[in-house]
Amino acid sequence: MFEQVEAAPPAPSVKDSPAGTEHHRTCRLDINKPQHVLYVVGTSLDVSIYRSAPPSSKSFSVKCTPQVKYSISPPTPETSHQSQIPLNRNTSLLISMDRASEFENESKLSVRYYNEDRYAVGLAVLHLTAVEISLDVDADRDGIVEENNPNKGSWKWGPSGYGAILLVNCDSESKFCKNEDYNSKQEFIFNLSDLKDMSPMKLRTRGPSRLPKGYKLMMHICLGDSEKIRVFGSKSGNKQVNNAENSSSVKDYPVVLGPEVLSQEVPYPGGNAEMDFHVEGLDFPDKDFDGLVTINLSLLKPISDAVPETPIFTDKVMFRVAPWIMTPNTLQPEEVFVCRTSDNQPFLKEIKDLVTKSGYKLKICEPFMNRGDRWIQDELEFGFVDSPHHQFPVVLDSPRDGELKNFPCKVLLGPDFGYVTREPQSDEVSTMDSFGNLEVSPPVTVNGKKYPLGRIIIGVAFPTAKNGRNMTKVVQDFLWAQRVQKPIALFSDWLVVGHVDEFMTFVPAPDRKGFRLLLASPDAAYKLFKDLKNNGHGQARMFDGFPKERQITVEEILGDRVLLNHNNYVQSCIDWNRDVLKKELGLDDDDIIDLPILFKLEKKNDGRVVAFYPDMVNMIVLGKNLGIPKPFGPKVNGRCALETEMCSLMGGLGLNCTFIDDYYSYHKNLGEVHCGSNVRRKPFRFQWWNMEL
Amino acid sequence: MFEQVEAAPPAPSVKDSPAGTEHHRTCRLDINKPQHVLYVVGTSLDVSIYRSAPPSSKSFSVKCTPQVKYSISPPTPETSHQSQIPLNRNTSLLISMDRASEFENESKLSVRYYNEDRYAVGLAVLHLTAVEISLDVDADRDGIVEENNPNKGSWKWGPSGYGAILLVNCDSESKFCKNEDYNSKQEFIFNLSDLKDMSPMKLRTRGPSRLPKGYKLMMHICLGDSEKIRVFGSKSGNKQVNNAENSSSVKDYPVVLGPEVLSQEVPYPGGNAEMDFHVEGLDFPDKDFDGLVTINLSLLKPISDAVPETPIFTDKVMFRVAPWIMTPNTLQPEEVFVCRTSDNQPFLKEIKDLVTKSGYKLKICEPFMNRGDRWIQDELEFGFVDSPHHQFPVVLDSPRDGELKNFPCKVLLGPDFGYVTREPQSDEVSTMDSFGNLEVSPPVTVNGKKYPLGRIIIGVAFPTAKNGRNMTKVVQDFLWAQRVQKPIALFSDWLVVGHVDEFMTFVPAPDRKGFRLLLASPDAAYKLFKDLKNNGHGQARMFDGFPKERQITVEEILGDRVLLNHNNYVQSCIDWNRDVLKKELGLDDDDIIDLPILFKLEKKNDGRVVAFYPDMVNMIVLGKNLGIPKPFGPKVNGRCALETEMCSLMGGLGLNCTFIDDYYSYHKNLGEVHCGSNVRRKPFRFQWWNMEL
């Protein structure tokens, strides 16, 4: 059934239907009465001459009207219509017709049987009506529903691939009653504007104005697929969607198939006509769902009142549900989100200045919505879905569910803004489930393998660790199942908060691979502090201007053997991740920049680690402007040496550093600028279906 | 992680561990104290010269003992050990060693730093200890655990494929307390004889007799895999399994990993030594399980008492759990199973004569076990599992669960006889779940695609049918997930009993594809009856010798228009399946033989259908001997014309027909010979891992 699908799933969801479309149909002759056969153009009828032969027959001849073509198997020497052909057990006729009939029983084929003495002993007649039937989709992915694409029933990745695409209709056409559209269980389409989120599908027919008596068309899906899609019909028939919006009501778009309806009769449009359908996805790919769904259209033949119809022709189309895709720091921002809290007014102002200067929109989540929860990075991840016909942003809501938990569905979900979440069944949510622990790299090529949408990065524990904390399985399953940004698991459980954004980020670069990986580096910090001491700044103080007890000199830092030991450990943890990232993203050392950052170990937190001073790698990246946690490092000639180093490192890439004071409002709460902000970015121009998977 | 795995699953089960084995390890220099580094042969150490350079250094030189090899990146002009190389931000050393050290700190490398004036300003020393560590399996599938196969961490199908194989340990070493061995949850192996069902795995090391202080080896699996495998250690160390059986107790084989233990320290064997492990599978591939499991071995480095160890090297091996494989009629029988009931003594005798004559074993399931349930075909399906090290039969127990339900686990399950079942969660079991509705074709090639183990065949309803009956989803999922006998779904719901074995079977043939597909054919029956009438036998009676009311003449049959209509419908149902089988098995008409069988429609059964006289296609195939339901057809010259026709059709293939009277004992209960028997056959010689999937 899926032979042509690349990378077929190991255990495809059960297709509760008999196997594949048949292009050869066994068809019977009867010498007692003429047979009326409905023929579908593109198939062939396989007729056993022997089966219906009268007992005494030894040879036969065939005659037909001009539209009918036939061949005899096994092949016989060149014969005219009138010549008698010897009959044997395996003799069969293969019948086909090139185009649809204009009226019922337009064509005819007859077989005459002869006995030993070459006298006619029987005549079997077939009256033939030919129809063309095609269930059509945009299998070539150009936004237009072409006619009878030969690959429409299967799906292949890549620029030379094929197979139609479906969006999960997870936005909400209603601004007031927020609910994903696909969840609005109804008999009809929810709103005419919802049509644009759906994939077009057409039933095209040619032939007589009506099907012969008793024949009917059934559209059907298997049980497994029925939870994944819904098909709406279109009572307006030939009308285009654009026109329909002007003149139609939702009642013109009734549900044809879906979770409650696995099969339904659809009208035969008749003559040279077509009928519009609209298909929506109900769920994203996941562990149990490879994203592929099939819609079948069967032509049923009546037998008698007592017995059910049998299908004589089945056409099918395959869709893949579009994956949820994340957007790396190298994509252009569209909106920046931060929370207003009782204590972050100065921080808000600095962020606002940066965002305004950079030319982007700032959206502030107010206290009534955030209820004091400032970690908007952790509550949600922005992404998008894409298809040849439509594209919109989709927020992935974290199972973290802090006080911000209503923000994604109450504020973000809306017209053309989708929503998806994955909730673990038990209460196994930990800090690892916050989306500061979910990042994505820019596009990379690794040993020739292209990741044009980058790779997702999450943080977990080593499997050998006792009491290790991990991102919950349902979210990991979801991320892996999207396939187009194959995830990398890093080791982040050594941190108290445990998020990958505490030790790494990506910034755009004009050269090499178009970006740099920034890594926190205690070694780089010690090197800088040693340089300071060597240059006579050993008495310079960190946290200068803060209360005395916070301040500490460069020499005191360098002299603290315990701090050094702990930072050696931190460096080895980050180095482990550095090695993984180099391998999995195909990076060289020159693609990586070490940032001078120190950490400290918290005995009370199982020996896990927090940043010693504001963690500069936890920055917000807005094009060429970086919003970096102000580190309050030792001053040299009145200027913070850590800021100087950052500006020097980033300046080489043409990036501008803005240092934002998040000390009391975020850093002391174990987060920084990145944890306290979120950025919705422009989607990739690269279309995911063009990946070679 | 699975880049080399062919046909990687769309959503691999979450691997709760950081990504892949790292062959490059970032390593730190320290000018303040010598560093002691444990090096694993086959990896390389990546050392940043710059990171640890004293502040004033401008150049450096490198010196090392003979075992150590290094290169400088970016490459410098040809230099001797003593020459000073300019230092810049990206300068790094790549260090490797060819073989294991004999003692700790055997090798050494030092980096000397120089200032602008070329005076030495610092010296960083690395003391190196090299070890070889390899977790080994039979990745080349020859039954022997080779050393460090480069492909051991991945899995590929085909004759040029690689990757180790695991059996589900689903037999029962105990004859008395019947329980699949993998279900005997214990701290140790259940029985020494159980070792042969397990895949061997070895930990091989070379190096000093002990690891440096604080280092340790951990074996670990991810959460998803932990439900699928169990690993046993071997306290006897180097001993071979064969010897072990003589001298060991089960306590020498403790559980190392499994559902309750995701990671465990394993001893470093020391020096040039190896340690044996034994791995069992706990579950067959299924919808949620692609059959692949990975076992990791990590070398952990101590940091300090306060902080956890970090892994510096991970080796991994991948297994695929062997699928459950069915055996077609063309394979040689080993045992024939039938039930004894109060009313089937004559039938039993005829079957016994046939089986004995054919040279096979007959096993009779006695009334205390079958409690009157004679349908042993329906309760279970025989299959087998195969690996390079071992092979045994496995019975798939149907969820049907009639009175025979205890037979598979109480009688069949035993030493070297495995058991597996799939039970639906709700009570959705129907007649379609009986395994007369589960068959398998002989090996076929379809449009160039080879199915060297044939294809599974099941019967379902059309999705367009109202009140359609289907095989339960969990069994379908299981069958599809085995992958090596890709199933075909036929349309069998038109039958009252609904089983594919009511209208089709396969028999061996000396020519063409090595077999013929036999199909029930009302057309063939009508043709035969017409021939009889034409030849003057119109008054010959079916069921001759039975009570008068059962008897019916050839002419009466031919004259019954209702019967004809219903059989036309049956023929169109079978023709639909014929078309599917031709396409999905790559058959020609010459590969198919139509058997003269009539059906009748039962209005009381929703217009479904039963055989009009004993259904000859429902036969038992024992090599060249066929046990066929005696049809009691019209007699010509004292001989049943249906038997004559069968003998003629089968005789051409060199097959012998034995007609068995099952009329009252089976046929009147809506089954025949095949439904009432079962055959365990020799496994395929073809090894499933050599399939190209």
Catalytic annotation present for A537: no
Higher pLDDT, A169 or A1: A169
Average pLDDT of chain B to the nearest whole number: 91
Mean predicted confidence (pLDDT) in A324-341: 98
**pLDDT at B247 (0 to 100):** 63
A-interface mutation test, from B464, B469, B470, B530, most A Cβ less than 10 A away: B464
Contact assignment for A480 to B12 by CB distance below 8 Å:
yes
Helix (H), strand (E) at residue B479: helix B473-482
**Biggest distance spanned by C-alpha atoms of chain A:** 123
Contact assignment for A19 to B584 by CB distance below 8 Å:
yes
- pTM attached to this predicted model: 0.88
Sheet arrangement for strand B216-220:
B164-166, B310-321, B292-301, B216-220, B263-266
- Residue numbers in A near B3 (CB within 8 A): 449
- Token output for A123: 């005549």
Judged against a pLDDT cut of 90, whether residue A17 lies above it is answered with no
Contact assignment for B579 to A26 by CB distance below 8 Å:
yes
Contact assignment for A300 to B464 by CB distance below 8 Å:
yes
Residues B647-681: tens digit of each pLDDT: 999 999 999 999 999 999 999 999 999 999 999 99
**Counting one residue from A and one from B, how many pairs have CB atoms under 8 Å apart?**
287
- Residue numbers in A near B224 (CB within 8 A): 473
Nearest to A226 by CA among A271, A258, A184: A258
Of the pLDDT bands very low, low, confident and very high (cuts 50, 70, 90), residue B248 is confident
Residues A531-589: tens digit of each pLDDT: 999 999 999 999 988 988 789 999 999 999 999 989 998 998 999 899 999 999 999 99
Distance CA B292, CA B289 (A): 8
Contact assignment for A17 to B56 by CB distance below 8 Å:
no
* Per-residue 3-state assignment (H helix, E strand, C coil) for B41-91: ECEEEEEECCCCCCCCEEEEEEEECCCEEEEEECCCCCCCCCCCEECCCCC
- Residue numbers in B near A3 (CB within 8 A): 449
Mean predicted confidence (pLDDT) in A65-74: 93
B304: nearest CB among A13, A527, A565: A565
Contact assignment for A589 to B73 by CB distance below 8 Å:
yes
Residues B325-380: tens digit of each pLDDT: 999 999 999 999 999 999 999 999 999 999 999 999 999 999 999 999 999 999 99
**pLDDT at A2 (0 to 100):** 25
Closest-CA residue of B relative to A484 is: B10
Q: A415 in helix, strand or coil? A: coil
Of the pLDDT bands very low, low, confident and very high (cuts 50, 70, 90), residue B15 is very low
Residues A118-176: tens digit of each pLDDT: 999 999 999 999 999 999 999 999 999 999 999 999 999 999 999 999 999 999 988 77
Judged against a pLDDT cut of 80, whether residue A248 lies above it is answered with no
- Residue numbers in A near B122 (CB within 8 A): none
**pLDDT at A78 (0 to 100):** 61
Judged against a pLDDT cut of 70, whether residue B245 lies above it is answered with no
**pLDDT at A188 (0 to 100):** 87
Which is the catalytic residue, given A181, A378, A493, A591? A378
Residues A548-564: tens digit of each pLDDT: 878 999 999 999 999 99
Of the pLDDT bands very low, low, confident and very high (cuts 50, 70, 90), residue A235 is confident
Percent of chain A with pLDDT over 90: 77
Helix (H), strand (E) at residue A564: helix A561-585
**Mind listing the domains of chain A with CATH numbers?**
24-131 (2.60.40.1860), 137-321 (2.60.40.1700), 325-690 (3.75.10.10)
Residues A292-332: tens digit of each pLDDT: 999 999 999 887 666 678 888 999 999 999 999 999 999 99
Closest-CA residue of A relative to B589 is: A90
Of the pLDDT bands very low, low, confident and very high (cuts 50, 70, 90), residue A506 is very high
Distance CA B651, CA A365 (A): 85
Of the pLDDT bands very low, low, confident and very high (cuts 50, 70, 90), residue B306 is low
Contact assignment for B534 to A480 by CB distance below 8 Å:
no
Distance CA B33, CA B490 (A): 75
Which is the catalytic residue, given A499, A537, A667, A674? A499
Catalytic annotation present for A373: no
Closest-CA residue of A relative to B478 is: A11
**pLDDT at B90 (0 to 100):** 83
Pairing of strands B325-326, B310-321: unpaired
- For helices A641-651 and A522-534, the axis angle rounded to 10 degrees is 120
**pLDDT at B250 (0 to 100):** 86
**pLDDT at A255 (0 to 100):** 95
- Residue numbers in A near B25 (CB within 8 A): 575, 579
- Token output for A310: 């049998």
Of the pLDDT bands very low, low, confident and very high (cuts 50, 70, 90), residue B237 is low
- Cα angle vertex A385, ends A383, A388, to 5°? 150
Catalytic annotation present for A378: yes
Percent of chain A with pLDDT over 70: 93
**pLDDT at B20 (0 to 100):** 39
Contact assignment for B10 to A291 by CB distance below 8 Å:
yes
Contact assignment for A19 to B218 by CB distance below 8 Å:
no
| Contacts with A131 (C-beta within 8 Å, 6 or more apart), sequence order | A38, A39, A40, A41, A100, A101, A205, A206, A207, A208, A211, A299
A579: nearest CB among B24, B53, B460: B24
Residue B441 CA to its chain's centroid (Å): 17
Of the pLDDT bands very low, low, confident and very high (cuts 50, 70, 90), residue A184 is confident
**pLDDT at B580 (0 to 100):** 93
DSSP secondary structure letters along B158-173: STT-B-EEE-B--S-S
Residues B133-154: tens digit of each pLDDT: 999 999 999 999 999 999 999 9
- Token output for B260: 């309750």
CB B385 within 8 A of CB B167: yes
Higher pLDDT, A78 or A126: A126
- Residue numbers in B near A603 (CB within 8 A): 306
Distance CA B421, CA A138 (A): 42
Average pLDDT of chain A to the nearest whole number: 91
